Amino acid sequence: MENHGDSNLWKSIRDFFTSRDENPIEDVIKEAEKDGDLGQDVGRILQKVLSLETRQIKEIMLPRPDIVCLEENASIQEVAETIIESGHSRIPVYRDNKDQIIAVVHAKEILPVLLKPHSTATPLTELMHPPLLVPETKSIKSMLLDFQMKKMHLAIALDEYGGTSGLITLEDVLEEIVGEIEDEYDPPKPREITVLEDEGWLVSGRALLEELKHQLDIELSSDFVETLGGYLIELAGRIPATGETFQIKGYSFQIKEADVKQIHSVLIFPAPRTTDDNPDTAQSD
Ligand code: ADP
Sign of CA dihedral 184, 190, 194, 198: positive
Terminal C-alpha separation, the chain: 61
pLDDT at 284: 56
From 88, 91, 186, the mutation candidate for ligand 1 (largest count of ligand atoms within 8 A of CB) is: 88
How far apart are alpha carbons 216 and 283 in whole angstroms?
A: 20
pLDDT along the chain (285 residues), means of 10: 57 64 74 82 86 91 95 93 95 96 95 82 88 97 96 97 97 90 72 88 93 92 93 96 94 95 94 52 54
C-alpha 79 to ligand 1 mean position (Å)? 15
Residues touching ligand 1 (Cβ under 6 Å) are 62, 66-68, 87-92, 153, 167, 169, 171-172, 183, 185-186
Nearest CA owner, ligand 1 atom 21: 88
Tell me: domain 58-178, CATH 3.10.580.10, correct?
yes
C-alpha 157 to ligand 1 mean position (Å)? 14
Q: Which parts of the chain fold into alpha helices (H)?
A: 8-18, 25-34, 40-51, 76-86, 107-115, 140-150, 170-178, 209-211, 228-236
Please identify, by atom number, the ligand 1 atom nearest to the C-alpha of residue 175.
Answer: 14
Beta bridge mates, 282 = 246
The answer to whether residues 266 and 245 touch, using CB atoms and an 8 Å cutoff, is: no
pLDDT at 22: 58
pLDDT at 277: 45
Fold topology of 193-284: 3.30.465
pLDDT at 183: 78
pLDDT at 275: 52
- The pLDDT tens digits of the residues spanning 37-69 come to 888 788 888 888 888 988 999 989 999 999 999
C-alpha 205 to ligand 1 mean position (Å)? 21
pLDDT at 20: 55
- The pLDDT tens digits of the residues spanning 129-140 come to 999 999 999 999
How far apart are alpha carbons 285 and 273 in whole angstroms?
A: 16
CATH code 3.10.580.10 region(s) in the chain: 58-178
CATH code 3.30.465.10 region(s) in the chain: 193-284
pLDDT at 248: 94
Please identify, by atom number, the ligand 1 atom nearest to the C-alpha of residue 171.
Answer: 6
Nearest CA owner, ligand 1 atom 2: 88
From 60, 62, 184, the mutation candidate for ligand 1 (largest count of ligand atoms within 8 A of CB) is: 62
